A and B are shown apart, each in its own frame.
Chain A
């Protein structure tokens, strides 16, 4: 069943709505859990579109296995998704920096408040993001250490390669996940792929995790696949490699994953001068879970994140 969460009228004969698809068991067996899948807060992140579709398709194929509620919110920033723009188009405002919003606020804040209110009461919220167009991310779950105890069981069950527990000091308070957790609703953030693309294999990997978590919560009674053991990494175990000078990054890797100390990850070149200005090498053995995708870089741009080792 498709339900409207909030709607506003646009200036020229059009309404803008955020909607959800509500899935519930045929037979109401009394108490049951509720999972909410949210995506499309950033308009350039599209993997969630396939994930939402596939969850609905699988549940519709076997409705008899559904023993709880699943709410799917495919486009929290519908104009952004439509226009392939990360932020809310008219305001150039990052929607994931305005939660919990305000019922009396302008469009973005009003939608944020409506979503926050609708998600309240969920037993788990999974906020599905892709990366942006600049870096590629291995499928991963991000957990704020402040809420680790509450959500770690779900995070580990999501079939991702990495669960990244990050420091509270770096948490952004106005994100959806932070807001829901502070309201007492367990929430995790899924990251994957790259902006403006759908990676079907990675989406299917994440879907295995979602159905596993649904089974753990008692929402799904059908068969599920085994999930992989996630590598749990923490702030001090992640080295962040940034470029030292502006140029063009050329990757020497065929993908993400294991890396050896000293291995060449890529080079930053100056095309007009025909020379390499920086060799980017792995500082230690580890696991590359973020890698530069967009080649043009300025000094300070992120090249890679590598799990492994211990850092200050």
Chain B
């Protein structure tokens, strides 16, 4: 394993800001794995740290196939991580909305530019990222429909689902989008929550990355073959929104099967405790996303359900 510094920025009174990378094997730029871009993506950084551990062992055993280089960047934003802030500490800019960046641009733009320049040219790119709303997803691999996406490749991770989604204007500033445009097969992986370590989800995520690297002939590793993923698109997902506000008591979690008309949870009055309303499922399917904050406002998206999907 070789450690490298991908970008350095002097701080006024803090230690220099540094983006660190860990390189395994040598030869063709085969795969690059990127973790936290926001300061609260603890789970995402943790997963990458566990991938570093696994790759270290594999390298020591000689199980990184010749002529393959793998780069892991566990965290692009240690400054925000150390102060518990999601976005850049001073001006609150989102690093994962600043790609492709500019070498002579503003601070986050310089960081994103340096990262993208370093991760360009790898055949496969994997990013662990998070959603802006509180909630949990069913583990899945996500690709943006840029015209360069390949669902069949995404299937090789062995996660239960692959989501292909149409990019919105705001998505064009993400690493994933710009990575794909630069010619890398880029995947976003959603595994567990955000600010707390979910050990089971992390293990699944590490396994899915190792499975993919094995199937692409980059490492030698024997693990469970995982799922043959169901490929879903935006239009397969039905959003269930709260029509009231209050305390939320949901009774379904990602992966649960729901029937049409089934009660998915209750909204309680926060002071008197009575049930203000029940949320019923508008479709039969499988829960893809579940809101996990006990307080909900009206219009909150509390579930996304894969429509007409059976177990």
Residue positions of A touching B, CB distance < 8 A? 8-13, 16, 86-87, 90-93, 97-98, 104-107, 110, 132, 134, 172-174, 242, 245-248, 270, 296, 298-302
Contact = CB atoms under 8 A, between A and B. Distances in A.
A163 to B, nearest CB: 23
A19 B68 CA distance: 59
B289 to A, nearest CB: 12
B123 interface: no
B93 to A, nearest CB: 9
Interface residues of B, number: 36
A242 B106 contact: yes
B18 to A, nearest CB: 13
A251 B241 CA distance: 51
A298 B107 contact: yes
Contact of A11 (B107, B133, B297): B297
Contact of A87 (B92, B105, B246): B92
Interface of B is mostly: loop
Nearest to B271: A13
Interface string B288-311: 000000011111110000000000
Contact of A248 (B12, B91, B169): B12
Contacts of A247: 12
Contacts of B169: 172-174
Contacts of B296: 11
Contact of A296 (B12, B104, B133, B297): B12
A273 to B, nearest CB: 11
6 contacts: A97-B170, A106-B241, A106-B300, A173-B169, A242-B106, A298-B9
B9 A9 contact: no
B212 interface: no
Given A11-B247, A134-B91, A106 B270 contact: no
Contacts of A92: 86-87, 92, 132
A106 B298 CA distance: 8
Nearest to A110: B299
Nearest to B86: A92
Contact of B110 (A13, A105, A300, A302): A300
B230 interface: no
A87 B33 CA distance: 30
A109 B271 CA distance: 28
Q: Please provide the 10 A-B residue pairs with the shortest distance between their CB atoms, ordered closest to farther.
A: A9-B245, A11-B295, A173-B169, A9-B298, A8-B298, A300-B107, A246-B10, A298-B107, A174-B169, A300-B110
B245 A10 contact: yes
Nearest to A302: B106
B244 interface: yes
B132 A299 contact: no
Contact of B132 (A8, A86, A91, A242): A91
Interface string B118-130: 0000000000000
A9 B86 CA distance: 26
Interface string B237-262: 00101001111000000000000000
Nearest to A93: B132
Given A92-B86, A246-B9, A300 B109 contact: yes
Contacts of A173: 169
Nearest to A271: B12
Given A104-B241, A106-B299, A299 B270 contact: no
Contacts of B86: 92
A11 B241 contact: no
A86 B93 CA distance: 11
Contacts of A270: 12
